[in-house]
Structures are given as C-alpha cells and as structure tokens.
C-alpha cells in the first residue's frame, strides 16, 4: 500500500508545486516507487516543473471519466526510473473531478507505488479538498509571511475535519510543516516572520526549511526539479526534507544568517 501525501497550503504561489516535484523526485532518488499527481485542474503546472509538458497525452480527468487508462496517462520521468507523473487537464475545470473517481485512481496506484504525492491547487474549494481527502499525511507549505501562515492554519483545520481519516475517526492525518522561501537575513531585519513564530502559531512538526534561492527559479524554468541540483542550498534542503519524511533524524540547515567571509566576498562567493 502506498502512502498518500498531499502537498497543500491554502495560499497560492508559496511553492506547492515546486515542493511536490522536488519531494517526489527526492523520494524516487532514494529508491521509492513514486507518482506525483497534479490536482490543479485547469491551471496545470506540474508538468512544466517536471519538464514533461511535451509528453502529455492523457490526464487525470481523462482517466476519471474513463476516456483513457491509467497506464496511458502516467508519464515516466526521464531522469529517475521509478518516478511517474499524472498530469492535470488544462481544458477542464475542477468539477470534472469526482470523489469516487479520485478514490479509484488512488486505489489502483496504491497497488504499484510506495508513495503518491498529491499536488493540491490553492484555495480551500473542491479541488483542494479532493486532493487532501484520501491523504495519510500532509505537507503544509508556508512562506514566512502572515497571510501564508493564516491560510496554512485554516488548511490544518480542514485537514483535521474534512478528510476521510477524520470522517471515519481513523488515526489523524500526519501534519508536517514545510517552510519555503526562508531568507535568514531578511528574518534578522524583521521583514519576514521567523521560524519560531511560525512554529508557535501552527504548532505542528517541522519537516523542512527551504531557503529562498535562485536555484528554485532556475530549476522551475528548466523543468528540472531542484532536488537534482545537489550543489544548491534549496536542493540540499529538499534532500534533507525527504530524509526526514523517511524517518531519519537530520539537523536543520539554512535557517541562520551566515555572514560572508572576506575571502568569499572578494571572490564573489559560491552560487546560492
């Protein structure tokens, strides 16, 4: 049985898709058979971030509506063998998804995969609720910013009441906090909320902290998940996050402001 993990946030633009792609890639690189599903019907992006946009034929909606088989719609990642992508439809809207349809797709995928990563759309409407409904664990992506924290808080409330686990009274969904776009120097200046404040408000376990990094934008535009960029801080931070998801105890990095040494300033430093 696969573990179903939803990557969600409430607020848009915080890095859900980037994180879903990076974490799915990380899990696959560690040898887990992983599929990442784009639930953002009508505004699909995951295929771009994963660099497979030219290979999309069928999508999630086609599968749910019986117009294509699951194997026809699954796209095998070019870089990692045991990673698959199930894209969203760009032409339909979210009403094309049904609870029963999603359940059937997830059940079928569960037999073959170790991890199913659901990339949730922004908002708290139907698409987001369907993405989280069958999840065993949730990664709540939050930026160090008040509105993002409040939306994540709202999302955590929904995760605790609007999921199948909550409705059936099963063990509650595992909630993990992933802070993205963290910039320690701006935190020191007081421009951004600090790590401790976010943890205190949301009161859930921290699974990872991704520093604000040029590598992320570069990765998105190139269609290569940032996890592949092992020299970048963001790539390493996602690798750490994946290790923690797999139960390893990895110390937190990139949360403190490192003053540049004289030498690195003279020679322009490494890439960030």
Partner 1 sequence: MSLKVDRDSMAFTFKGGMLPMTVMELTSADPERIRDQLAGKLSQSPAFFQHTPVVLSVEKLDEPHLALERICAVCRAHKLLPVAVRGGPEPVKQSAWALGLGWFPPQEASRPRALESVAPAEPESALEVADELETPPGVTSGGRIYRGTVRSGQQVTAPEGDLVVVGAVNAGAEVLAAGSVHVYGALRGRALAGIHGDAMASIFCRELRAELLSVAGNYKRLEDIDPRLLGTTVQVRLDGDQLGITSLS
Q: Which of 33, 79, 150, 244 binds partner 1 (CB under 8 A)?
A: 150
Tokens 């569960």 map to which residue?
A: 110
Q: How far apart are CA 66 and CA 265, in angstroms?
A: 59
| Distance of closest approach, residue 149 Cβ to partner 1, in angstroms | 9
| Closer by beta carbon to partner 1, 24 or else 173 | 173
Residue 33 marked ligand-binding: no
48: exposed, middle or buried (C-beta count within 10 Å: 0-12, 13-18, 19+)? middle
| Distance of closest approach, residue 176 Cβ to partner 1, in angstroms | 11
Q: Which of 57, 99, 189, 203 binds partner 1 (CB under 8 A)?
A: 203
Residue 127 marked ligand-binding: no
| Distance of closest approach, residue 64 Cβ to partner 1, in angstroms | 22
157 binds partner 1 (CB under 8 A): yes
Q: How far apart are CA 183 and CA 144, in angstroms?
A: 9
Q: Is 234 helix (H, G, I), strand (E, B) or coil?
A: helix
Reported as half-sphere exposure (CB side, CA atoms, 13 A), residue 195 has a value of 22
Helix, strand, coil percentages for the chain (3-state, nearest 5):
45, 15, 40
48 binds partner 1 (CB under 8 A): no
Q: Which of 154, 253, 260, 265 binds partner 1 (CB under 8 A)?
A: 154
175 binds partner 1 (CB under 8 A): yes
For the residues of 110-179, what is the DSSP string, one character each? HHH-SEEEEEPPSSSSHHHHHHHHT-SEEEEEE-SSHHHHHHHHHHHHHHTTSSHHHHHT-SPPEEEEEE
Stretch that binds partner 1, among 26-34, 55-63, 159-167, 188-196 (CB under 8 A): 159-167
**Sequence-separated (6 or more) residues with CB below 8 Å from residue 70:** 63, 86, 105, 108, 109
43 binds partner 1 (CB under 8 A): no
Stretch that binds partner 1, among 185-193, 196-204, 254-262, 264-272 (CB under 8 A): 196-204
Closest CA to 37 of 59, 64, 11, 62: 59
Q: How many residues bind partner 1 (CB under 8 A)?
A: 20
172 binds partner 1 (CB under 8 A): yes
Distances (CA, A) of 63 to 54, 59, 88, 144: 19, 6, 10, 37
| Closer by beta carbon to partner 1, 68 or else 201 | 201
153 binds partner 1 (CB under 8 A): yes
206 binds partner 1 (CB under 8 A): no
151 binds partner 1 (CB under 8 A): yes
> Which residues lie near partner 1 (CB under 8 A)?
124-125, 150-151, 153-154, 156-158, 160-161, 166, 171-172, 175, 200-204
Binding-site entries for ATP: 11-18
């Amino acid at each position: 049985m696969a573990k179903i993990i939803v990557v969600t946030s409430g607020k848009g633009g915080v890095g859900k898709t980037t994180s879903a792609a990076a974490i799915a890639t990380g899990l696959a690189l560690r040898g887990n058979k992983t599929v990442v599903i784009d639930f953002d019907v009508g505004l699909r992006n995951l295929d771009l971030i994963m660099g497979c946009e030219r290979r999309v034929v069928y999508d999630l909606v086609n599968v749910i509506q019986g117009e294509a088989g699951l194997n026809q719609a699954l796209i095998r990642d070019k870089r990692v063998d045991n990673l698959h992508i199930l894209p969203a439809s760009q032409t339909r809207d979210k009403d094309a998804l049904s609870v029963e349809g999603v359940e059937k797709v997830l059940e079928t995928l569960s037999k073959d995969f170790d991890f199913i990563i659901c990339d949730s759309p922004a908002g708290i409407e139907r698409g987001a609720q369907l993405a989280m409904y069958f999840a065993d664990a949730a990664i709540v992506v939050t930026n160090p910013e008040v509105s993002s924290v409040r939306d994540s808080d709202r999302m955590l409330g929904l995760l605790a009441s609007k999921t199948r686990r909550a409705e059936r009274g099963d063990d509650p969904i595992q909630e993990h906090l992933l802070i993205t776009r963290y910039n320690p120097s701006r935190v020191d200046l007081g421009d951004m909320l600090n790590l401790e404040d976010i943890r205190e408000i949301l009161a859930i376990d921290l699974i990872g902290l991704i520093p604000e990094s040029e590598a992320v934008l570069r990765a998105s535009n190139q269609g290569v998940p940032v996890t592949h960029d092992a020299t970048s801080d963001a790539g390493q931070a996602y690798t750490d996050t994946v290790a923690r998801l797999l139960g390893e105890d990895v110390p937190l990095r990139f949360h403190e402001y490192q003053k540049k040494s004289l030498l690195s300033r003279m020679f322009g430093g490494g890439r960030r």
